[in-house]
Amino acid sequence: MIDFIRRSGRSGLDFCAAVGRASIFLLRAIVGLSLSGKGLKLLARQIYRVGVLSLIIIIVSGLFIGMVLGLQGYSILVDYGSEQAVGQMVALTLVRELGPVVTALLFAGRAGSALTAEIGLMKATEQLSSMEMMGVDPLKRVIAPRFWAGFISMPILAAIFSMVGIFGGMLISVDWLGVYDGAFWSNMQKAVEFNNDVINGMIKAVVFGWVCTWIAVFQGYDLVPTSEGISAATTKTVVYSSLSVLGLDFLLTAVMFGGI
């Protein structure tokens, strides 16, 4: 019994310490970005690796999710003779929910795990400590550009995802199933409001990008520097990111659309 209390106390303290470390780490990473020429080059390189290389998976899955939404929406709505509403259904679903959420899940799997593994390997091979030896702050040189790259890339990827998804929905419902395209677009434009739907979706994407990158970079920086540690940290990154994205999505939706 005593042993149980001792162990739970220890893990509670460990958890608090990890949250504290992660917060200090986040703060130093945010302010650590240098906007000089060299810093911007590093940032561009990370945006390339985190954002541009994720583009293919985002575009392909956006296209298919939009097409599935078009198909499902049509088959449900055609029963009520209101298949013109498929445009507003596809657009609202993508812009409000699926765009930010699915992008964040894919982003965590595609870019987050890579960030964790890369930083973890740097730590395991003592590249980070040798940087410190040379008087280079690894938080500024390695972490800050990666953090900001994820933070910048995520909303862009979510916007592209929604755009491609709506295009995919149009492809199916208008070109294949024969919904009148004027009604498709005008219903969509009537239903989607820029301030409420598009901006709120982008706010979600920004929050998710922040959380996913924070978890990925911190897990890499804080892992046990062994091969097992790297694999455990990579798994943790994907699991924690996915769970916090889905949980946060509920909270944000409740605040934005729940009318609280």
Q: Does 198 bind other proteins (CB under 8 A)?
A: yes
Which segment (37-45, 102-110, 124-132, 137-145) binds other proteins by CB under 8 A? 37-45
DSSP class of residue 53 equals: G
DSSP string of 159-172, one letter each residue: HHHHHHHHHHHHII
Which of 61, 93, 162, 242 touches other proteins by CB under 8 A?
A: 162
**How far apart are alpha carbons 118 and 213 in whole angstroms?**
13
Q: Does 95 bind other proteins (CB under 8 A)?
A: yes
Which of 51, 66, 73, 209 touches other proteins by CB under 8 A?
A: 51
**How far apart are alpha carbons 148 and 249 in whole angstroms?**
21
Query: Alpha helix (H) ranges present in the chain?
Result: 2-31, 37-50, 55-77, 86-92, 99-107, 113-124, 127-133, 138, 144-170, 181-191, 199-222, 227-257
Which of 22, 163, 171, 206 touches other proteins by CB under 8 A?
A: 163
Sketch the per residue contact string, 165 through 194, with other proteins: x for CB under 8 A, - otherwise.
-x------------------xx-xxx-xxx
| Encoded tokens for 165 | 């998804």
What does the binding site for other proteins look like in residue numbers (CB under 8 A)? 41, 44-45, 47-48, 51-52, 55, 91, 95, 152-153, 155-157, 159-160, 162-163, 166, 185-186, 188-190, 192-194, 197-198, 202
